[in-house]
Amino acid sequence: MNTTLEKDKNLVAEDYFLLATRKWDDRLEDFFPVDDPSTATQTFNDYSEAETAYFSMDYGKCLQAGGRDVKIELIHIRFGIPHIVRNQMLFP
């Protein structure tokens, strides 16, 4: 059986890529979690598209940053288990 996620794109639930832009939280002294509403995410079926989006990110494209540090993560979700592929921090 092949299930899909309810999103704009028809993604296979067992295998997709997530590009998450997480901003810094002073209270946590860490970046907000991926599932936080302030975290901007994009989903991809294809690794090359996800990697292109990852490498094209710069601080100016992170509108939700608000002058704070941000962390960009490319995450591979396989059978519901997240695996970080790449990550970087951007500073104002």
pTM score, whole prediction: 0.78
Report d(CA 42, CA 29) in Å as an integer.
Answer: 25
Give the residue carrying structure tokens 């299930």: 3
Does residue 40 sit within a domain? yes
CA–CA dist 83, 65 (Å, integer): 24
Tell me, yes or no, whether 7 lies in a domain.
no
pLDDT band at 4 (very low <50, low <70, confident <90, very high): very low
Helix (H) or strand (E) holding 55: helix 47-55
Residue 1 lies in a domain: no
Domain membership of residue 68 (yes or no) is yes
Q: How many domains does the chain fold into?
A: 1
Residue type at 79? F
Diameter over CA atoms, the chain? 46
* Res. 67 pLDDT band, cuts 50 70 90: confident
Domain that holds residue 84: 15-90
| Domain assignment present for 57 | yes
Residue 10 resides in a domain: no
